[in-house]
Structures are given as C-alpha cells and as structure tokens.
Amino acid sequence: MTIELKMPALSPTMEEGKLSRWLVKEGDSVSSGDLLAEIETDKATMEFEAIDDGIVTKLLVAAGTDGVKVGTVIAMIQGEDEDAAPAPKSTAPAAALPEASKTLEVVSKPMDTPITISKADVQKQSSGDERFIASPLAKRIAVNKGLDLTSVKGSGPNGRIVKADVEAFAGGVSVPSTVHNSPPLPLPAPHAAIDTDIPHEVIKLSNMRKTIARRLTESKQQVPHIYLTVDVRLDALLKLRGELNASLEARGIKLSVNDMLIKALALALVQVPKCNVSFAGDNMLQYARADISVAVSVPTGLITPIITDAANKSLSKISTEVGELAARAKEGKLHPHEYQGGTASISNMGMMGIKQFDAVINPPQGMILAVGAGEKRPYIVDDALAIATVMSATGSFDHRAIDGADGAMFMKVFKELVEKPLGLVA
C-alpha cells in the first residue's frame, strides 16, 4: 500500500512548520522507530519517527522549506506489501494532493503529539475505514484500560483525544474543552508596507515569534488583567542562599535567587489554591499541583519550560532542572511536554536591572509573577529606618477567575515565604 506522510501538528499551537532537514532519502527502507526528519515548530526543533515499515519513494518537500502547513503531504512511503516503485511525479503542489485512504502514523519524541489512527488499531472488534484523531499516549492508555476511543470526546485542537480525555472518561468525568480547543483569535490585519528611506533590513518572523505575537495579542484582548505589587525584603533569603550554596558546592550545585522564588511561588499557590486555577468558560479548573512555567529568553523569542510539582521538590532539584531545561531551550531541543501546560508562570528580569514590570498572562494559566531587581533601599526594620535589600514583585491575575482579594492574599503569602525563607527548605 502507498502511504502519504503528512506534516504533523507537533504542538497544539502549530499551524505550519519548517522542514529543517530530512534524515532519510528516496529509496531508503524505514522501520518503526526510525527518524524521518527534523521539523522546526513554533517552540522547538523536533525529530519525529515512523511507526510503519516501508520504502521512501518520494520526498515532496525540500529540506529547508519554511511555512509548510500542517497536513501537507511531504513524502510518499510504500508499504512492504507492494513492489518498490517510484511514486509518480505530481505537478500539483503538495498541499493540493488528494487525501489518501491510509495515513502514516507519525509520533514525535514526546508522547502527547497527535497522530491519525484507525479504530482497528485500538479495538480489534471494530471494522471499517472511519478515522479519528488521538495522541499516542491516549491510545496507549485506552488499550491498557480496555477503552473504546470512539466513545471518548476529544478536547484538544480539532477535537483530538488527549491523555486527560481518556483518564476523565475512565473516571466518568468530562473535561472542559474550552481550555484546549478555544479558537485562536486572529491577528489584526497586516499593516501596509512601510515606505521609508531610513536604512533598514526586513527580518522575517520566526514561527516562534509569530506564535508569541498571536498569543499575547489574544491574552491582552480576551483576559482582563489585574495587577498587584508588593515590596519584598530579600536579606534573609540571600543569607540562607549563601549558607545552602556552601553546603551544596561539593555537589556542583549553585542555587540562584530565582530557584528559591520558584519554590516560593509554588508553595504560595498551594497555600492559596484559589489562585492556582484556569478560567474555562462556564467552568474553572482547580489544580491540585503547582507546575511553574519559567520564562527563558532564547534567540528566536521566549519559551517557558516547566518545573512540575515545584512545591514538593527540593531547591537543589529545582536548580538542576531549571539549568538543564534552560540550556536545552536555548538549543531548541525541548520536548512539548516540557513547555506545554503549567499552572502559573514566573518572569524574572531583575538580572537586567529592571526594577518593576507587569507581565502578560500566558493562557490558559490564571496568573504570572513578574520579579524585579533586588536593590538596596531605605526600609523600616523594627520601627527604625534602615537599609535593606528589597525587590518589587507584581502578580498579574486573570480577573475572570481570581478575585482581587484572593490575589492580594497570594501576594501576602509569597512575601512571607520569601522574607522567612526557612519554609522553603522545611
């Protein structure tokens, strides 16, 4: 059988990608697990694999091609039940080729990437050619639990079935689809070309920068932000950090102030759970775990790798994970499960001398904490004027889900955790 290999959607926000590099050539035999290509998404450059055996008969999209739409046929694979013969050349663009009756199953390195599967792959008693969208992880869980995915309603993009849908179905709980499947707000109409005699160069937007532009526009237009700021004394935290680093030096670990603030943010979310939420239309998701997205600047924009369950991790573990994730983020090597999700974000620009700023919420999260520089300021200590190291921290809250009083309580708890930092190591 002849199989069409299509550009996969390797993230929920991906609409198009760059086919950076082919890892196979025409005439190559491929087996399940073989790497086929590297694709640059809106977040990272990812490898993806084939799970069917066959022979590559035609590469329809050249390496280095940008702006390849999801679903575009990029190659032809011939199954082992046919004699190998080159696929006929097509004069039509790849995107215009007709739908094939069979689709190559493609799975990226992370496990929650969408693929197209047939019912027969999940339930042997089903028959026919009807098809639906599910992720590999969702498929695996369904098989292990003996579930029929035809009865599961998908909450992912384009109705795809994801892990949460299968787990909710198994437990008899429906998952709100508005969090995952809200239609993206279109960007404003492009501006007319700028006619200028000022020397300049035209820089084409990367996929990441396009996504940042769309998501931040969507956030500011759809999410009513409320901003709350507190001044936090850092002297006790800095003293504790020095003592901890002295004891961790032999293990090659050096805690940063940001590592400790991540832990404080996570603990504050646990203590004030009304701020650990997502607005979902007629519903609200109340998270039982604090997963902290950490804003990291990369050459092509900004990405937010996630420290999962940060409230229950040691400071040394948080420090190690942040270092590893940040390094791979700058290389574009993060897997989707390492940057998709999170229950709240932290953005720290203190190292660049920024005193205070208001950050834009990363939907569907309900809040983000913006951290400024710690600096020597006049401060009242024990009813006397003194000099203390103080930073300003501003919480941006989704006012649809979080009331001002709850946001204020969260900021109060965060301030207390930082100013009495032994609670971070308890």
Would you say 315 and 260 are in contact if contact means Cβ atoms under 8 Å apart? yes
Give the side-chain half-sphere CA count within 13 A for 181.
Answer: 15
Contacts of residue 217, defined as CB under 8 A and 6 or more positions apart, other chains included, come to 185, 187, 188
Tell me the two tokens of residue 342.
């999170």
For residue 103, what is the DSSP state? B
Using alpha carbons only, what angle is made at residue 212 by residues 210 and 218, rounded to the nearest 5 degrees?
A: 105
| Total number of residues shown for the chain | 426
Would you say 70 and 9 are in contact if contact means Cβ atoms under 8 Å apart? yes
Phi, psi of 274 (to 5 degrees): -65, -15
Distance CA 326, CA 386 (A): 37
The SS3 of residue 57 is strand
Residue whose C-alpha is closest to residue 309's, from 349, 284, 358, 276: 276
The SS3 of residue 56 is strand
| 67 conformational bin, left if phi > 0, alpha if psi -120 to 50, beta if neither | left
Would you say 85 and 45 are in contact if contact means Cβ atoms under 8 Å apart? no
Residue whose C-alpha is closest to residue 107's, from 116, 98, 99: 116
User: What pairs with residue 378 in β-bridges?
Assistant: 387
**CA dihedral over 386, 390, 395, 396, signed as positive or negative:** positive
Tell me the two tokens of residue 49.
């694999």
Widest CA span of the chain, in angstroms?
A: 88
Distance of CA 426 to the CA centre of its chain: 30
Tell me the catalytic residues.
399
Q: Which secondary structure element, helix H or strand E, spans residue 288, and what is its range?
A: none
